[in-house]
Structure 1
Amino acid sequence: MKKSPTVKKQDPNLEQRPLATPTDLEAAATKDIGGAMNAILADVYALYLKTKNFHWHMSGPHFRDYHLLLDEQGDQLFAMTDPIAERIRKVGGATLRSIGHISRTQRIADNDADYVEPLAMLAELREDNKTLAARLRQAHDVCDKHRDIATASLIEVWIDETERRTWFLFEASRQGDATGH
């Protein structure tokens, strides 16, 4: 009589959670990293939409320069979203699922004003990008704590991009002569 082949049973935790990606990270790491990165993802979506809002509603003598700057920055922010969400999934987490989920998670404030002065737009986006850089550093700390080198590496690039956006927004909104007066 032939012996039936032994079939290795799948991890019971994965059977109970069909979207749980296998990872060598502990459950606490998945929870912490997923939470930190979902908050970043929500902030990036909120900042993306605010940047596009200001891009669409820009006016004034520097319209073309500001319009193009904000379009470029919006594209850069949107380009971050898929890699962030995929990192969350790769470490075993679940990502944001809807606009409502984003609005409940985001920490970047919306701006629904009918009109915002162009320099006020740049200043608000500059401050939001500074805040995002600080939150990216906090998320990096979470990744370091759990030895998630891959997510930390991506975050380092995003910090650099965010600092560049902050710098460009600062320089574009400066008034006066070359000395800053």
Structure 2
Amino acid sequence: MAKDAKLDAKTKRKAPLQTPTDLKSNAVPDIAGALNLLLADTYALYFKTKNFHWHVSGPHFRDYHLLLDEQAAALLATTDIMAERARKIGGTTLRSIGHVSRLQRIQDNDADFVSPKDMLAELREDNKAMVEHLRTAHDLCDEHGDIATASLIENWVDEAEQRIWFLFEATRDT
């Protein structure tokens, strides 16, 4: 490959995307950045939920196992929408598990054993943190007039609040 072709390829890799959007130029990196943080958190929460799904035990095994599988599937379903929204407005998105680990705010749990009640309580708190992060991103979208991303975030808040409710009810003493 000629030297000029190598330089041209390098320049193109660093060139901004030319995705058409009516958002102001400063809105794109702000909103795409917020979406990438949410996406990293969603992947971290997804994997933690699957971890607990795989390792739950005890007398409520079946109920908790199914609940966690359902919640993990719902989390995974949002990831493509988040990433594609960042791309749709002209931003870039996550590229690797390493990228996720650098951005995630939801902490991993690598313990060999976690009691079922502690699993559900930890996931409940993580989902509460997720709601806080979603609300912050929503405020940013409002500042930039991005009603489409704000609308998506409103749905994700509702979904997270439902996960919180189910996790709360599953651990509540009658």
* Distance across 2 between alignment mates of 1:47 and 1:69: 14
Do the aligned partners of 1:88 and 1:94 also contact (CA within 8 Å) in 2?
yes
The equivalent of 1:145 in structure 2 is 143
Would you tell me which structure has more helix in proportion to its own residues?
2
Question: Which of 153, 159, 162 in structure 1 is aligned with 2:160?
Answer: 162
1:30-82 per-position Cα deviation (integer Å, ceiling 9, x unaligned): 01101111000000000000000000000000000000000000000000000
| RMSD between superposed Cα atoms in Å | 1.4
Identity %: 69
The equivalent of 1:104 in structure 2 is 102
The equivalent of 2:8 in structure 1 is none
Could you tell me which amino acid in structure 1 is paired with residue 46 of structure 2? Y
Do the aligned partners of 1:20 and 1:93 also contact (CA within 8 Å) in 2?
no
Q: Pairwise mapping of residues 74-113 of structure 1 onto structure 2 (< 5 A)? A: 74-113=72-111
Greater Cα offset, 67-76 or 17-26: 17-26
TM-score normalised over the length of structure 2:
0.90
Question: Which of 61, 64, 69 in structure 1 is aligned with 2:62?
Answer: 64
TM superposition shift of 1:18: 6.2
The equivalent of 1:116 in structure 2 is 114
Structure 1: stretches of 5+ with no match in the other structure: 1-13
* Distance across 2 between alignment mates of 1:81 and 1:105: 15
Do the aligned partners of 1:44 and 1:78 also contact (CA within 8 Å) in 2?
yes
Question: Which of 120, 126, 131 in structure 2 is aligned with 1:128?
Answer: 126
* Distance across 2 between alignment mates of 1:33 and 1:133: 17
Q: Pairwise mapping of residues 15-54 of structure 1 onto structure 2 (< 5 A)? A: 17=15, 19-54=17-52
Secondary structure of the corresponding residue to residue 26 of structure 2:
helix
* Distance across 2 between alignment mates of 1:40 and 1:98: 15
Could you tell me which amino acid in structure 2 is paired with residue 149 of structure 1? I
The equivalent of 2:3 in structure 1 is none
* Distance across 1 between alignment mates of 2:158 and 2:68: 17
Structure 1 ranges of 4+ moved more than 2 A: 14-20
Secondary structure of the corresponding residue to residue 38 of structure 2:
helix
* Distance across 2 between alignment mates of 1:139 and 1:45: 17
The equivalent of 1:171 in structure 2 is 169
